[in-house]
Amino acid sequence: MQYYNQNASVIYTDDRGRKIDTFVIFDTDQKTGLTHINHENLKVPADTLVLHEKTVGKYHLPISDAFSFEMINKLREKYAERDRLPRKKASVATPAVPGMMLLAKAS
- 31-71: per-residue pLDDT in tens? 999 998 878 888 999 899 998 876 666 555 555 566 666 77
Q: What is the pLDDT of residue 15?
A: 93
Q: What is the pTM of this model?
A: 0.52
3-state helix, strand, coil in the chain (%, to 5): 25, 25, 50
pLDDT at 80: 78
Q: In the predicted model, what is the mean pLDDT of residues 96-104?
A: 67
25 or 84: whose pLDDT is higher?
Answer: 84
Q: Which of 63, 51, 41, 62 is nearest to 19 (CA)?
A: 51
